């Protein structure tokens, strides 16, 4: 099987130059080729693992524990204005 690297890269929202795609393509085909050996393992009736210890997801008590930390949480943002994240125009 030949992987369409550019298509997968678009799914993952990563731009790839032609050079990068040319290098990554064969490498990914190698990796996927290697993991295809899984097909030869008999897994009839085997449950897929969801958690290594089969424990249920715990729930916290439904009370507010976080305070307003807008300023400190936004201090690492690339671009903010009036407490909002600024991104390129989405709607014309």
Q: Does 90 bind another protein (CB under 8 A)?
A: yes
Smallest gap from Cβ 64 to another protein, in A, equals 14
Return the H-helix or E-strand segment holding 20.
helix 18-35
CA-to-CA distance for 86 and 91, rounded, in angstroms? 13
Which residues between 24 and 83 bind another protein (CB under 8 A)?
A: 24, 27-28, 30-32, 34-35, 37-39, 41, 43, 46-53, 55, 57-58, 60, 69, 72-79
Return the H-helix or E-strand segment holding 23.
helix 18-35
The DSSP 8-state label assigned to residue 84 in this structure reads E
| CA-based torsion, 29, 30, 31, 35: positive or negative | positive
Q: How many residues of this chain bind another protein (CB under 8 A)?
A: 53
Smallest gap from Cβ 29 to another protein, in A, equals 10
Measure the CA angle with vertex 45, ends 29 and 55; round to 5°: 90
Contacts to another protein by CB under 8 A: 3, 5, 8-17, 20, 23-24, 27-28, 30-32, 34-35, 37-39, 41, 43, 46-53, 55, 57-58, 60, 69, 72-79, 85, 87-90
């Amino acid at each position: 099987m030949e992987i369409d690297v550019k298509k997968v890269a678009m799914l993952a929202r990563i731009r790839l130059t032609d050079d990068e795609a040319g290098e990554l393509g064969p490498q990914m085909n190698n990796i996927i080729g290697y993991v295809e050996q899984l097909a030869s393992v008999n897994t009839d009736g085997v449950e897929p693992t969801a958690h290594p210890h089969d424990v249920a997801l715990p729930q916290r008590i439904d009370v507010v524990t976080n305070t307003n930390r807008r300023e400190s949480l936004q201090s690492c943002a690339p671009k903010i204005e009036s407490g909002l994240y600024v991104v390129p125009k989405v709607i014309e």
